[in-house]
Amino acid sequence: MSHPLSTLSHIFFFFFFFFALTYDHRVLDGREAVTFLVKVRDYIEDPRKMLLA
């Protein structure tokens, strides 16, 4: 999915996607789930981080 982003003199299109996680609250706390999603987001934004991890 792409959305336009405009500045004073240019129009840019940027792409994004939604990523969701379903988990059982009885087994996993929300903090761990959010931490996992943040790591996934970071790896998608900069795959070189996977090599350094």
Q: Give DSSP secondary structure letters for 8-51.
A: SS-EEEEE---------TTTS-HHHHHHHHHHHHHHHH-THHHH
The model scores a pTM over 0.85: no
Catalytic residues, by residue number, are 25, 29
Domains of the chain, residue spans? 22-52
The predicted structure's pLDDT at residue 17 = 78
How do the pLDDT tens digits run along the chain, 53 residues long? 666 666 777 777 777 778 888 888 888 888 999 899 999 989 988 988 888 76
Q: Residues 11, 5: contact at Cβ < 8 Å?
A: yes
